[in-house]
Amino acid sequence: MTGFVIAISALLGLLIGSFLNVVIWRVPRHESIVSPPSRCPGCEQLIRPYDNIPVLSWLILRGKCRSCKTKISARYPLVEAGTAILWGLLAWRFAGSWALPAYLVLAAGLVALSLIDLDTFLLPNRIVYPLTVAVTVLFGAAGVVGGVGDFRRALLSGLGVFAVFLLLHLVSPRGMGFGDVKFSFVLGLSLGWVSPATAFLGIFMGFLLGSVVGIGLIATKVKTRKDHVPFGPFMALGTLIALLVGPQILRLLSQ
Ligand SMILES: [Zn+2]
């Protein structure tokens, strides 16, 4: 049964990843994510359904448009494969938990927000708000079926993390953007469903990864101290690591 759930989740993840590519491209441009259908940015040719199969089409076409041979970024198949792997891993980690749907939706949101933040240095409300509502409702439903205590702990954790980020924003508005503050609640909520220690670990790892990479980029002169380094992807990464292997890390730390 678990193997079946993992396989179905990974397959669905491929399709969702394909949809996330549309979201990542269109939301920052304030375009609709449902219409019109995708076209090649080079020749405006409609992309045929058989050229739109996740990962496979890109490999078959060797990363080029069928009509005009414009190069298609490797990021598209990577987002599709990455979402599939994430969904498979989360299904493995939370198999048998009512919270699995909430985690799958969260992961899709994290993929989209991370790449948009890398592209634009923004975490659009058009994604953060619906993601927060959807994940909260799904955890609420899981709480009703599985145990209200888990949901109460998740909510408190979300509010706690939000309060910490808000405080950091008030102390240093340039260091901690308000976009990150709005984003923090859903992370604290999702981590807190597992345990408060997991929430602490996930947020801590986000800061750690962000600082290490930030310092690395400045040391290697890829960026200067004045450049902006998006924080969203690191928060997302810290959260996903804590969700997937948090228990193992906490056990190692407590030895
Ligand atoms: Zn083309």
DSSP category for residue 176: S
Considering only the C-alpha atoms of the chain, give the largest distance between any 2 of them, rounded to a whole number of Å: 59
Segments of 102-201 assigned E as strands: none
Q: Which of 70, 45, 43 is nearest to 58 (CA)?
A: 70
CA of 218 to the centre of ligand 1 (A): 38
Which token pair is 210?
């962000």
Contacts of residue 142, defined as CB under 8 A and 6 or more positions apart, other chains included, come to: 97, 98, 99, 101, 102, 150, 151, 193
CA distance 113 to 232: 7
Write phi, then psi, for 71 (nearest 5 degrees). Answer: -70, 135
CA of 158 to the centre of ligand 1 (A): 45
CA of 50 to the centre of ligand 1 (A): 15
Q: What mean pLDDT do residues 99-106 have?
A: 98
pLDDT at 37: 87
Q: What mean pLDDT do residues 164-171 have?
A: 96
Contact between 185 and 158 under an 8 Å Cβ cutoff? The reply is: yes
SS (H, E, C) 149-164: HHHHHHHHHHHHHHHH
CA distance 38 to 186: 30
Question: Apex CA 165: angle with CA 161 and CA 168, to 5°?
Answer: 145
Q: Pick the range with the lowest mean pLDDT from 67-76, 129-138, 237-246.
A: 67-76
Report the percentage of the chain scoring pLDDT > 70.
100
Which token pair is 108?
């899709």
CA of 179 to the centre of ligand 1 (A): 35
Q: What mean pLDDT do residues 174-189 have?
A: 94
Q: What mean pLDDT do residues 106-129 have?
A: 96
Q: Which of 191, 235, 192 is nearest to 211 (CA)?
A: 235
pLDDT grade for 186, boundaries at 50, 70 and 90: very high
CA of 34 to the centre of ligand 1 (A): 21
CA of 71 to the centre of ligand 1 (A): 8
Q: Burial letters for 81-90: b for 16+ Cβ neighbours within 10 Å, e otherwise?
A: bbbbebbbbb
Distances (CA, A) of 210 to 105, 153, 215, 230: 24, 27, 8, 8
pLDDT at 227: 77
DSSP category for residue 53: S
CA distance 121 to 131: 18
pLDDT in tens, 118-150: 999 999 999 999 999 999 999 999 999 988 999
CA of 77 to the centre of ligand 1 (A): 17
Contacts of residue 59, defined as CB under 8 A and 6 or more positions apart, other chains included, come to: 77
pLDDT in tens, 188-208: 999 999 999 999 999 999 999
Give yes or no for a cis peptide into 49 (omega within 30° of 0): no
pLDDT tops 90 at residue 218: no
Q: What is the reported pTM?
A: 0.94
Contact between 10 and 85 under an 8 Å Cβ cutoff? The reply is: yes
